[in-house]
Structure 1
Amino acid sequence: MERFWNIIHYFAYKAEYKIHLWSNKINPILYLYKLSFAKKHFKKIDINPVNELNNAYKKTDIVGISGFFAGNLMNALLFFICFGIYCIYNGLKKDFLINSVYVIIIIGIISFISNYFLLFRKDKYLKYFKEFDKMKHQEKKKWAMISLLIFGGVLLFLVGSFAFMIYRLNN
């Protein structure tokens, strides 16, 4: 379970970093930095804003912005799974026994603690990232597709369970 969850986390990180690199190509703010007066200004103060931005996203031993987004995505994924189960439970019972706000808070805490132990405790994810970086290209493609299917499946599960709960509570 831990290895599988770390594989999904790794590919969430990789996908987010690639999206960042792609968005830099169409980012209108970065075009402003290419104007002559901006280049002169940043050269005078010895800063390259494009490099600074890219360095903030890079994976380091200390979590960068991409790692932060991937970690939060993993929290959301686990939250969606738990909330989907809660929606199915409410649909089957046809009754709200507990105030939903408390349930959402409890599910959020459970998601955060579970991800802490599965991914972040003693920097487990860094060990797994190093291992996954050494994967063969074909195996990376396979696991990237599996990760994408997991994300899509969890979202479908969340929407389906919510629709099931609404249907059962209204009938």
Structure 2
Amino acid sequence: MKRAWGTPPELRDASAAEHYADKEAARYTNTGARIGIQQDMSRRAIDLMMHGGWGGGEETEEVARQLPGCRGRLTLVDVAQALPLRAASLDGAISISALQWLCVPVRAEDLTLGLFEGLARALKPRARAVLQVYMRGERDVDLFVWAALRARLRAAYMVDYSHASDAKKYYFVVEKSERGGGKAEAADDWK
């Protein structure tokens, strides 16, 4: 299968630090085709859930345009580190095209679990996070499900074919329950 946009950077032996360095981040931010794709994926994530955000900032700006009265603050943080957020401070969260970096390093389990534990702490009860991730296969899916459940979040994922290409878009959705118990479910089971 030929990829229209080449090999994703996380599969080209690039580290996240190199990919998100100032020069590469500026190139990435100014690539016209990428901007349209990111906006489409952000709108799709908003269809699933959204009241807050993280990422390069584009997703948060898109949400703010669609939610009157939405207020936010842009904070840059490495998602592989602990999220510097107060407990139960998020109404919701999105991440577009960033979290696949957690699946690459040797410490994938630790990093992914740390992310979901941070989300579980920061999300308000019944709040959701929608994470668009480029999964490389069942191992990545299993890793995200394991980490979310271990962090006591409800977890579901869906595969979206919203673009004309054959590229799959994985959306991983987690929700903090009022009681804190997690279980894996089909996305269709959520209302």
Question: Do both proteins adopt the same fold according to a TM-score greater than 0.5, normalized to the shorter chain?
Answer: no
More helix by share: 1
Q: Which has the higher contact order (CA 8 A, sep 6+)?
A: 1
* TM range, smaller chain: under 0.3
More strand by share: 2
TM-score in terms of structure 1 length: 0.25
TM-score in terms of structure 2 length: 0.23
